[in-house]
């Protein structure tokens, strides 16, 4: 039976203090983003704005050229969403086959994916770029989706394979006896049980793709297609010291992933805990 002791209260207070400290940067981010230029230059950074000023967000939203933030936001949402869907589809099937097969090739494939995760992606960047350029995949959204999917399939497969190995085969064997095919078993029985793993894969790979700057800068450089991090780079470079507008663009870039995380956080936490319940 749980008892609320003095030590428990101390730990709870310490957790609250740690949470408030971690929120301090976010407080400055929001406060400065909603201040006008005049108020930003004449008031303390700690002081909240006297009124919410959306001029910084309007200035960010109406930017043009390489620093077109709304265009970069749309491109990033498209690339991240389609990449995550492909990674879930490919990684789940591949991880399931590797986990259920006991032959030597499946073990070799598993450790090959593990090595691919350990090795930095920058090692293959030059030949990858040359191949993508020859196939005319650079400077386009489909090309970036293919590149990101190829780079992060090992991670998705590795995560799924670990979860599948911890999942018993009783339900699958019962479905086989009832006449279900392997495809039906995977889609209607196995994959729903893997919701925590899917949440983990989606959030981890989605965050990596969403925040990536280096690869998108190289593969999309010189084109009209720019992801949000690249658009932010051009925008911030032109502002230099207009921190209220810079913080406004940071808030805009945070909203999609924060929303996605809040919707999927339950499965994400279950995935990291290794749980298949709930």
Tens digit of each residue's pLDDT (9 = 90 or more) over 148-179: 998 999 999 988 888 888 777 787 888 888 88
CB-CB neighbours of 276 under 10 Å = 16
Contact 36, 54 (CB under 8 A): no
pLDDT in tens, 72-116: 889 999 999 999 999 999 999 998 888 887 777 877 888 888 888
> Residue 272 has what pLDDT?
53
Q: Is the pLDDT of residue 134 over 60?
A: yes
**In degrees, to the nearest 5, what angle opens at C-alpha 66 toward C-alphas 248 and 256?**
40
DSSP state of 48: P
Contact 40, 26 (CB under 8 A): no
* Range of lowest pLDDT (42-56, 122-136, 193-207, 261-275): 261-275
| CATH 1.10.3720.10 placement within the chain | 65-273
> Residue 149 has what pLDDT?
93
Fold category of 65-273 in CATH: MetI-like fold (1.10.3720)
Residue pointed to by tokens 């650079």 = 138
Which pLDDT band holds residue 124 (cuts at 50, 70, 90)? confident
pLDDT in tens, 217-253: 888 877 788 888 888 887 776 656 677 888 888 888 8
Alpha helices in the chain (DSSP H): 6-22, 24-33, 37-42, 55-61, 69-100, 104-118, 125-134, 141-165, 170-177, 182-185, 191-193, 195-211, 214-220, 228-239, 243-273
> Residue 273 has what pLDDT?
55
pLDDT in tens, 181-208: 888 888 888 888 888 888 888 888 998 9
Tokens of 241: 């010291």
The Cα 95–Cα 269 span in angstroms is 20
pTM (predicted TM-score): 0.81
The Cα 177–Cα 147 span in angstroms is 41
> Residue 113 has what pLDDT?
82
What mean pLDDT comes out for the span 7-30? 87
């Amino acid at each position: 039976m749980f008892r609320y002791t003095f030590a428990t209260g101390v730990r709870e207070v310490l957790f609250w203090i740690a949470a408030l400290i971690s929120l301090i940067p976010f407080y400055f981010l929001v406060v400065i983003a909603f201040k006008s230029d005049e108020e930003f230059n004449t008031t303390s950074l700690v002081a909240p704005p006297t009124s919410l000023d959306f001029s910084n967000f309007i200035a960010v939203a109406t930017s043009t050229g390489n620093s077109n933030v709304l265009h970069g936001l749309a491109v990033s949402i498209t690339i991240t969403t389609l990449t995550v869907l492909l990674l879930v589809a490919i990684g789940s099937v591949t991880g399931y086959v590797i986990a259920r097969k006991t032959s030597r090739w499946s073990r070799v494939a598993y450790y090959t994916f593990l090595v691919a995760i350990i090795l930095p992606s920058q090692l293959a960047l030059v030949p990858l770029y040359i191949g993508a350029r020859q196939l005319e995949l650079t400077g386009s959204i489909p090309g970036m989706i293919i590149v990101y999917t190829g780079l992060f399939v090992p991670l998705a497969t590795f995560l799924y394979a670990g979860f599948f190995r911890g999942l018993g085969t009783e339900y699958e064997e019962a479905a086989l006896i009832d006449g279900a095919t392997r495809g039906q078993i995977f889609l209607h029985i196995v994959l729903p049980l893997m919701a925590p793993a899917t949440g983990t894969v989606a959030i981890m790979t989605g965050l990596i793709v969403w925040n990536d700057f280096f690869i998108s800068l190289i593969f999309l450089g010189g084109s009209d297609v720019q992801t949000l991090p690249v658009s932010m780079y051009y925008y911030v470079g032109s502002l230099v010291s207009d921190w209220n507008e810079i913080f406004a663009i940071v808030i805009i870039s945070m909203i999609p992933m924060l929303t996605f995380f809040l919707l999927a956080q339950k499965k994400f936490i279950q995935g990291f805990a290794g749980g298949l319940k709930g």
